[in-house]
Every structure is written in C-alpha cells, then in structure tokens.
Structure 1
Amino acid sequence: MSPDPRPSNPQPTPAVLILGGTTEGYALAEALAERADLRVVSSLAGRTDQPRLPPGEHRIGGFGGVPGLIDYLRTQRLDAVIDATHPFASAMGWNAAAACEALGLPLLRLERPAWQPQPGDDWWQVDDWPGAVAALRHSGARRVLLAVGRQELAPFADLDAIHFLIRAVSPPRPLPAFQDARLLLARGPFSLGDERALLRDERIDTLVCKNSGGEATAAKLAAARELGVRVIMRRRPQRPPSPRATDVSAALAWLDNCL
C-alpha cells in the first residue's frame, strides 16, 4: 500500500485582522483579497449608516474593550493585527496594543501622514474641543464650517454668537441644540473648486476640523488658504508605541515578514 502523501497535521492558514474603516484599511483589504495563502478579516466600527464593506471577511461593531478583543483574537485564531483605524480612534489603538501584548501577537499601525501647515495658512492648533471652543471665542469667529464628525458637536452648541454650517456624512442623533446652525450632509472626496465655492458662498471665516490627513478632505485646507479663512485644527491624540507604516506597500512588506 502506497503512503498517504497528505500531511498528517496540515498547518492552518495564517490570519490577519485589519481594524479598518479608513481609506487605508479598504486599500489594504483589496490588496490582500487575492491571497489564497492568507485569511483576512476586516473590522468596522459601524458608526456610519450602510458602510462600504471591504473584500474578504468582515465584522461590524465594537469588541467590548480589551477583554472582548482578546477573546475575539483567540477564538478566531488570528496571527497578526493591523490597526488602520482613523487617526482619532485612539481608544481602539490602545485596546489593540494591550490585547496584542497580552497574546504575544504582532501589531502594526497603518496611518496616513498628518497634514502640515503651508505658507499662507492661518492655523490655530489645539489639543481638544474645549481648546477649539476657546479659540473660536478668542478669534471672534462669526461664520464657521464645523467638520468634526457627527458625534463631536456638543462642545460647540453653547456658542450662540456664531452661525455654524455643520458638515457630516450622516445625520447626528440627536443634533445638539445650536442657537444658529445648518446641517449639510455630504461625503468626500471634495474638489478644490467645490470647497472654494462653499467657503465663499457661505461667507465662512473659520474652519474647524481634525488633523485627519489624507487626500479625500484636504481640499478644504487649500481653499481656506486661498480665501484667507482661519483654520482651527485639532492635533492627533497620542498612540501607543508600535511599528508604523504610512502606506499599503509598507504594510504588506511588514505582514510578509512577520507571518
């Protein structure tokens, strides 16, 4: 009888978890979609209605803190984690670092570079939203484009001497009780011409936003520079120390090296 050529203990397919929801997370999942030698799972926070689903396996919603993430990584037999969450999703970043340390799993932070002020910019950089509120009061702003996300509007609602144009992807639930505000639902990317027209037509004197980086929403900064619009920019929160990549190709090289 000839021997059975199959291995007695076949090795499981290596598996990676992408903490995604960003342009970089989708691009990484797409780059790995044809890899038969790798199982890819993308996790989305589920904070937007009808999110675009990346290729491969996916899950939507929170994990239940560090214990829940540890349990998920263990039960799903994941071998590596790539944190490609939004630059301001700092809680998830710290949870991922703690869970990967507990299980001895490799962790990579895939993060787009931050925006940097250019000649002609009038940036007021702050560390948090109370700092942004104080900057609005001090600057004498009167017409403000508020582009901070639908979940972070409340700190600005008490500024009753300002007209706010609130831009969000989905409607806030609920919308805080602003004295003078209008909601504009729109999803980027936005062109420079459209951003220039918006700032000019709405007579915006101040833009409030986060330093998210990337190209999809960068045109508003160029338009603000051209029109002399003040920018109150929230700096990125601190992240745990870990290996970092600024593009998908570097993340792929890291993944091939650690699996």
Structure 2
Amino acid sequence: MTHRILILGGTTEARQLAGTLAARAGLAITLSLAGRTESPVAQGVPVRTGGFGGAEGLAAYLGEAGIHLLIDATHPYAARISANAAEAARQAGVPIIALRRPGWEQVEGDRWMLVDTVADAVTALGPPSRRVFLALGRQEVAAFEAAPRHHYLVRSVDPVEPRLAVPDATYLLARGPFREADERALLESHRIDAVVSKNSGGEATYGKIAAARTLGLEVVMIRRPALSDVTSAETVEALAAMVDHFLEPAAERGV
C-alpha cells in the first residue's frame, strides 16, 4: 500500500526531508507551505500552499486526503501552527512527529541579550540611536517603527511592503545560507552595532551570530516559544529513520 505523508514545511530541513522520503517506495509526500514567501524554492514534491483554517480545518484535511502521518517541520517560532498540528492530529487520529532543529548555544565571546518577544527586542535596543541589523522575517520588522530613532538594516527574502515608517532604513533582498565572512563584511560596511535575531538554530543563518561575536557586537536574541509536546527529532536523518515505526499502526489497520 501507499502511505500518504503530509509535511508542514517552511524550513530548509522540510524540503530535504520531503526529498529523502519521496525517494522511498510506497510513500506519497505532500509538502504544505504557509505561503509567506512569495517565490519559494522549488520543492520536487507536490506542494500545497496556504492555511487550513486552524486545527479543525487541518484535521478535516487529514481525513479527506487519507493522510497516514503528519510531520511538523515548520519554523521553530511557528508556535501556533505547531499547536494546531498537534491538536489536528489528535482529532483525526493520525500520528504526528516533529522535526525540531536545536537552537544555538551561547559561547564565550557572545554578547547576547535574551528577550522573550519582538516587542521586548525593540525595548532592549535602549534610548540612544543605534545602527541595527534586523535579521528577522518581514512580518516582524514593523514592530520597530516604535523606535524610529535607530537606523535599520533589513534583510528579507521578499520585499518589505509597506516599508517601515522610520526616517532611516536600508533594505536588502537575499536568501541564505550566509557565510560568516560575508556576514562580517556586511556588518562592517553598514557600521552595525547591534543585531536582532531569533534563535533559529542551524548552520544556514549562524554566520551573522559568529560575525557579531568576532566584531564584539551585541545580539538581541529572541528566545524560542514553548512548542507542543510531541515526539520529535533534531535532524532530517533521525526523523526519516522514525517514519516506518509511526506508519506501522496505519498498516496494521489496513488504512
């Protein structure tokens, strides 16, 4: 029989996982993207774009599409989507596993200021005018309009529209991975003195953190949110090795 797997994606690892599983016989993979990136990288498997309508909508889709396994490979900060996925799996009676890359660990030389939210990061920049690199998604940068005294360097995959209502901002369009040497050159050329980042983990975007450490710059690091408690793996390889086990109940039921 063919087992149908739905991967909730949005990360590089989600695409890698989809490719790894699609190469196996007996598996039909669908990758779901939230649609926040206007020009996503080609995936190599069938792609569904857009939301489901909360946990209830996702649960209905799981049943209608005959999904045997749900994999949450969303961004570490997509807490609401992860919560909806866990609830939808419960409602639909479908097993769920999550791919959760480990966060970055602070090492000697790092100057991190840990905060809980983007709003807290705005406050953490302090009263004096600073030159700030916003290494965030385009959905989050609008919060920094509350602190128009700073100069902002904003890098995003897609254009920030509308642009920030601040007097001094520079915009860059780029897609990672970003090398440390290039990140250091970027920070130096724009005379950045503070970096605002989420603790996304992984190697693709760690370059800016390493570069900030080398240059002695402060990093305002937004902590990860609490995520739903489901079985998880930290790497594509580890999760791929778990898939057969989670599909066994479906096979036993003859689904």
Tell me by how many angstroms 1:176 deviates: 2.6
Q: What is the rounded CA distance, in whole Å, between the counterparts of 1:123 and 1:252 in structure 2?
A: 34
Q: What is the rounded CA distance, in whole Å, between the counterparts of 1:237 and 1:149 in structure 2?
A: 16
Which of 1, 26, 35 lines up with 1:46 in the alignment? Answer: 35
Q: What's the counterpart of residue 177 of structure 2?
A: 189
Percent of residue pairs bearing the same amino acid type: 49
Runs of 4+ in 1 over 3 A off after TM superposition: none
Q: What is the rounded CA distance, in whole Å, between the counterparts of 1:32 and 1:55 in structure 2?
A: 11
Deviations along 1:164-205, whole A, 9 cap, x unmatched? Answer: 111111111212311211111111111111111111111100
Which of 252, 255, 259 lines up with 2:243 in the alignment? Answer: 255
Tell me by how many angstroms 1:141 deviates: 5.5
5 Å-filtered alignment, 1:4-83, equals: 12-83=1-72
Any idea what SS the aligned residue of 2:90 has?
A: helix
* Residue identity in the other structure for 2:211: A
Which of 220, 228, 232 lines up with 2:220 in the alignment? Answer: 232
Q: What's the counterpart of residue 214 of structure 1?
A: 202
Q: What is the rounded CA distance, in whole Å, between the counterparts of 1:87 and 1:102 in structure 2?
A: 23
How many residues get paired? 247
Confirm or deny: 8 A CA contact 1:141 1:206 kept in the other structure.
no
Unaligned residue ranges in structure 2 (runs of 5+): 248-255
* 2:73 aligned with 1:84: yes
Q: What's the counterpart of residue 98 of structure 2?
A: 109
Any idea what SS the aligned residue of 1:137 has?
A: coil
Confirm or deny: 8 A CA contact 1:207 1:230 kept in the other structure.
yes
Tell me by how many angstroms 1:32 deviates: 1.3
* 2:122 aligned with 1:137: no
Tell me by how many angstroms 1:128 deviates: 0.2
Q: What's the counterpart of residue 163 of structure 1?
A: 151
Confirm or deny: 8 A CA contact 2:60 2:92 kept in the other structure.
no
Q: What is the rounded CA distance, in whole Å, between the counterparts of 2:158 and 2:125 in structure 1?
A: 25
Q: What is the rounded CA distance, in whole Å, between the counterparts of 2:239 and 2:173 in structure 1?
A: 33
Confirm or deny: 8 A CA contact 1:141 1:205 kept in the other structure.
no
Which of 201, 206, 210 lines up with 2:189 in the alignment? Answer: 201
Q: What is the rounded CA distance, in whole Å, between the counterparts of 1:13 and 1:173 in structure 2?
A: 43
Deviations along 1:102-144, whole A, 9 cap, x unmatched? Answer: 1121111101110111100000010001211111016x45100
Q: TM-score, structure 1 length as denominator?
A: 0.92
CA RMSD of aligned residues (A): 1.2
* Residue identity in the other structure for 1:159: A
Instruction: Return the index of the structure with the highest Cα Rg.
Output: 1
* Residue identity in the other structure for 2:190: E
Q: TM-score, structure 2 length as denominator?
A: 0.94
